[in-house]
Amino acid sequence: MSAAVTVRVPAKVNVQLAVGAARPDGFHDLANVFLAVGLYDEVTATPADALRVTCSGPDAAQVPLDTTNLAARAALALAERYGVDPAVHLHIAKDIPVAGGMAGGSADGAAALVACDALWGTGASRDELLAICAELGSDVPFSLVGGAALGTGRGEKLTPIEVGGVFHWVFAVADGGLSTPAVYGEFDRLTAGTEVPEPAASPALLAALRSGDPDALAAALGNDLQPAALSLRPSLADTLAAGTAAGALAALVSGSGPTTAFLVPDEETARKTADALLASGTCRDARVAVSPAPGATVAGR
């Protein structure tokens, strides 16, 4: 057995993000329908003299390498809970857009947790790992489980959702990121003085996922953070329009943005839509991916 563990972990898109009013703790109750998509980071954990994080990939310069990195925080949380020395080198091979609303940091947190658990033989149960994930961030538990799930509470309480087929997506990567707290703050500003309804999962959306029917899913997609992301980054409207004109069934902001997501009927339309988005000059990159994708999985050791 080699003394290194590599874990592959997917990005996510929120096919429904229903946001309630701000809670006293500053978080928002959600009905958050997560779908894991096949864009992956890989985290490799290797024994070392001290905790160290490195990162490779086109966006690596934007990733913090100190203990604010969610991968480092995951290793520290696991080590503390099981009385292990957290001396580990975590290398992140980053392919998920950074600060793009696709849970890239959360993915690395979940992957590091699974990798360190395997490396250290802590024997943590799935529920114990999920509890650590929830402490690290609202999106982290979903990065661990993957597939599709409804997240309630602040998004950390998961119920698996059945998906009856493969969905094809294009993701337009924007220049620069958007801060998740800033987008929730803008949601609060835009909804101030209005009655924000209790968030609830859409039965039509759940049925569309179950049936695997992309037209039905296109009709049911929704993101309550989209007006806030567009308010902070008005140019995203041009990206949404370019993807729709290129033949996407539906277009929406991915989570807190600024990545935009385009649901397309098949692989060929995905490639054409990605080409058209790039040619439109309204995004920095366009990535093709399928869903659902498996959660954090040991890929090699």
66 belongs to the catalytic site:
no
Instruction: State the Cα–Cα distance between residues 118 and 299, nearest whole angstrom.
Output: 12
Asked if residue 146 binds ligand ATP (CB under 6 A), the reply is no
Query: Whole-number minimum distance, CB 269 to ligand ATP, in Å?
Result: 25
Q: How many residues bind ligand CDM (CB under 6 A)?
A: 19
Asked if residue 102 binds ligand ATP (CB under 6 A), the reply is yes
Query: Whole-number minimum distance, CB 266 to ligand ATP, in Å?
Result: 27
Residue closer to ligand ATP by CB (options 173, 250) is: 173
12 belongs to the catalytic site:
yes
Among candidate residues 144, 147, 131, 159, the one with its CA nearest the CA of residue 296: 144
What is the footprint of ligand CDM within residues 93-122 (CB under 6 A)?
Answer: 103, 106
- From the list 29, 59, 108, 139, the catalytic residue is 139
Asked if residue 64 binds ligand CDM (CB under 6 A), the reply is no
List, in sequence order, every residue forming a beta bridge with 89; answer none if it has no partner: 46, 52
DSSP structure class, residue 290: E
**Buried/exposed 169-193: b ≥16 CB within 10 Å, e otherwise:** bbbbbbeebbebeebbebbeeebee
Asked if residue 20 binds ligand CDM (CB under 6 A), the reply is no
DSSP for 116-181?
A: HHHHHT----HHHHHHHHHHH-TTHHHHHHBSEEEEETTTTEEEE----S-EEEEEEEPSS---HH
- According to the annotation, is 1 in a ligand binding site? no
Asked if residue 108 binds ligand ATP (CB under 6 A), the reply is yes
Q: By CB under 6 A, name the binding residues for ligand ATP.
A: 63-64, 68-71, 92, 98-106, 108, 139, 177, 180, 255-256
Catalytic annotation, residues? 12, 139
